Amino acid sequence: MSHWWRNAVIYQVYPRSFQDDSGDGVGDLPGITRRLPYIASLGVDCIWISPVFASPQKDMGYDVSDYCDVDPLFGTLADFDTLLETAHGLGLKVITDQVLSHTSDQHPWFRESRLDRTNPRADWYVWADPLEDGSPPTNWHSHFGGPAWEFDPQRGQYYLHNFLAAQPDLNYHNPDVQDAILDTCRFWLDRGLDGFRLDTVNYYVHDDKLRSNPAAQKGPQVMATDLYGMQDNIYNKNRPENLKFIERLRKLTDEYDDIMMVGEVGDMGDRSIKLMGEYTEGTHRLHMAYSFAMLSPEFSADHFRSCIEGFQQGAPEGHPKWSFSNHDVARHISRWAEHATSDDDMARLACTMLMSFEGAIGIYQGEELGQTESELVYEELTDPPALRFWPGIKGRDGCRTPMVWEAEAVNAGFSVAKPWLPVKEPQATRAVDTQEGVPGSMLTFYREAIAFRKANPALQKGRTTFLNLPEPLLAFRREGGGQVLTCVFNLSPEPCTLSVDAEATMVGAHNAELNDGTLRLPGNGFARLENGGELTLAE
């Protein structure tokens, strides 16, 4: 096996927003296929495609009604096969988003399950009687607001939903459910898929005793929409039995050549890093995992260091994937704006930092253009939490607006029809055609950063050792393959100066100056040094 995934750069495609070839305002599989040469030109190794399965689209495809078919909104199974063949011809691996913790309430399994308490699939979902006063069985919250339980009068019971009420949770304590899910995964592996991105991978199994969660050991949340965070969510997810199913899934993928699974650990803070370690331990669980730790508003040297060192300590043989943006969080250029000298300076700093991290790397479509968050008004929204809690919650639509291809074209070249989300002027100005082949453009910068990562053994194979510098300086050494690189980043808009105690040479992209043992970093400055010794803050 090649273990291609270990240092891979993975490009996330959000199908609704990548390229519309059918002319209905929604992106589709033929559109993705047409744009595959562009993705390959970035130098990435793999594309991750968010859900394209049959779905009522209550949560943009994360409510699956048929795991083994493509939604007509995106095309057909034949379109998927064409995409896969084209990608492989370009040297790209393909993984898809597998939403295995829950289905749509329109899935045939759930339609049968809710009929009565004795049908063959009666126990395929998490059903429970009301408490004596009619209230839900536990105090668990839904991520999208309100209780995680919905009363169904047909059965006279509640069913569990960690997200929308239209997304009932499967009962993984039932071995028949596990077998059925494994069969759906085999369906895609048999078609030649290279692996899976596993949505909410730590949510599959719930506490079979239905114990209520204790209160979180921190101050109360100020946002009423974040009631979920007021509990220590130990019984509705992160159950030890969850790992048993992960091990079954790994056995399935091991029947095929060079398959990779990367799990989304849905948690925050230190616990998420710990779970990443547990879920990637050994060779019998996930190949990789990532969490929301680096997808948060936190932007400090201590935060990034604690994420990486925490994973090193918790899973010395495990493998992480690090990303700064995806379809669930505000784009990082906007999210970290208060720490930036400019949007472009933050984009270049973040790119260089991410490409220097040990492990696999994730890029979200448009990130390579320096794309920013779109500002939307209520009438433009589609995201369920935003529609319910506006203006307290702005939702995820701002990071999901269409990819911009041609600045002067209708809808920036995404679609000839009105797009499902609008293309605003600030985003259109960053279109591909304004940056393609332009020296110094963000697109050129990303291509060069990816190429530099692949050309330097220290960034491919090197272990990470952090240097002790004060905030806002993040510095670490990558050593491997006969090469030593010292990577230094200034995470503030204020300049700083460092002393270098050895003969050092700057390599790769940088915006710093190195003269006579003095390294001058501007605001959002970055440099990588060969043969650099100890670094100290200059007086």
DSSP state string for 358-423: SSEEEEETTGGGT--PPP--GGG---HHHHHHTTT---SGGG-SPP---TTSGGGGS-SSPPSS--
What 3-state class would DSSP assign to 479?
strand
Catalytic residue among 20, 169, 199, 207: 199
Give which of 256, 261, 189 is closest to 8, Cα–Cα. 261
- Dist. CA 246–CA 268, nearest whole Å: 20
Q: Considering 255, 338, 425, 539, which one is annotated as catalytic? A: 255
Cα of 86 vs its chain's centroid, Å: 24
d(CA 47, CA 191) in angstroms, rounded, equals: 16
| Short-list 142, 132, 135, 130, CA closest to 236 | 142
The DSSP output letter for 52 is -
Q: What is the DSSP letter of 435?
A: H
Which residues in 99-213 belong to E strands, given as ranges? 127-128, 149-152, 157-160, 195-198
Closest to 52 (Cα-Cα) out of 97, 88, 94, 95: 97
Q: How remote is the C-alpha of 460 from its chain's centroid?
A: 21
Nearest CA to 374 among 343, 334, 405? 334
255 catalytic per annotation: yes
Pairing, β 195-198 against β 260-265:
parallel
- Residues serving a catalytic function are 199, 255
